[in-house]
Amino acid sequence: MAPDTVVATLTGICLNDAPPPCTIKITRQEFDILAASLNPALPVNQRRELAASYIQVLAMAAEGSKQNVDKDPLFHERDRLRHLELLAQATAEHAQEDYKPTDQEIETFYTENSSKFEEMSLRLIVIPKSSGDGMKPEERKAYADKIRERAVAGEDTDKLEAEVFATTKATGTPPSTPIGWKRKGTLPQQFDSQISALKAGEVGPVIEDAQNFYIVKVDSKRMVPLETEKDNIERAIKTQHAQAAIAKVRAGVHADLNEAYFGPPPQTPPVRPTRPAESAPPKKD
């Protein structure tokens, strides 16, 4: 479709005191620019939704112009503030998009953040806390510890899970214990903190929440290849570069505010010194 092809014809919206019936024609190029200003990656199936919203805005703007809403001093101040906000936003986007990380920067980021690109193949044994076996809480915890000991000894985790469901009389079918490849940060915090340092073949401690006990085994570990993550790393570096550029601009600005008008700055509560924890006495042999 040629850039000057008319993609929308609007009738009844009179801008700039134009006489009725007032016809506005929007070309493909004009609409493409509008869409890009809001979302450069706007899906094709959302064009009609954007067009409907834009038509409503034009209609209300035309009515506001008739009523001289744009002559209000507050309108001009809001317009000025909005212009400043857009300019600041565009400056931040410019700092990010115009920066091109070097191959060395990408490789350094990959090396220095290696833990982010490490994946673990995990197995998960779930031991329900509420079931029909009549176990007391302390008995169930002891049972979970024994299941973990057997997993450490190398027993098959799927067989252990099936035994757990039979012993605890849990309802439903025992789930398969392999849960696939996971990265640090993709699991709940209590899992991440307990298993991220485990080596392949090791079993983590028993983890619990209100519903279950959990036992996690690391089958294997691997690094995601640099080439696979190159685009993501490039975006992360560009974001860091933009944040540093913005921080530099802000650091160069100092403001003195009139306290008679703005009031005094908020007071930071003093930090109370804490007593060092007493060390436990050494155990006797």
pLDDT digits (tens, 9 = 90+) for 40-52: 889 988 999 999 9
Q: Are residues 15 and 67 in the same domain?
A: yes
Q: Are residues 125 and 208 in the same domain?
A: yes
Q: Are residues 138 and 51 in the same domain?
A: no
- 4 phi/psi in degrees, rounded to 5: -90, 10
Structural domain harbouring 208:
115-223
Q: Is the pLDDT of residue 278 over 90?
A: no
Report the number of distinct structural domains present in the chain.
2
Q: Mind listing the pLDDT tens digit for each residue in 47-86? A: 999 999 999 999 998 889 889 998 999 999 999 999 999 9
Q: What is the mean pLDDT of residues 188-206?
A: 89
Residue 188, domain member (yes or no): yes
Residue 119, domain member (yes or no): yes
Among the candidates 207, 223, 239, a domain finishes at 223
Residue 271, domain member (yes or no): no
Q: Is the pLDDT of residue 282 over 60?
A: no
Predicted TM-score (pTM) of the model is: 0.61
CA pair distance 232, 227, nearest whole angstrom: 10
Q: Mind listing the pLDDT tens digit for each residue in 150-195? A: 999 999 999 999 999 999 888 889 999 999 999 988 888 888 888 8
CA pair distance 165, 177, nearest whole angstrom: 13
Residue 56, domain member (yes or no): yes
**Per-residue confidence band for 274, with pLDDT thresholds at 50, 70 and 90:** low
Among the candidates 223, 256, 276, a domain finishes at 223
Q: Mind listing the pLDDT tens digit for each residue in 99-120? A: 899 999 999 999 999 988 999 9
Residue 155, domain member (yes or no): yes
Residue 125, domain member (yes or no): yes
Q: Are residues 205 and 135 in the same domain?
A: yes
List the structure tokens of 160: 């252990």
Q: Mind listing the pLDDT tens digit for each residue in 222-269? A: 999 999 999 999 999 999 999 999 999 999 999 999 999 999 988 877
Residue 229, domain member (yes or no): no
Q: Are residues 137 and 218 in the same domain?
A: yes
Q: What is the pLDDT of residue 51?
A: 94
3-state secondary structure string across 20-83: CCCEEEEEHHHHHHHHHHHCCCCCHHHHHHHHHHHHHHHHHHHHHHHCCHHHCHHHHHHHHHHH
* C-beta separation of 28 from 4 below 8 A: yes
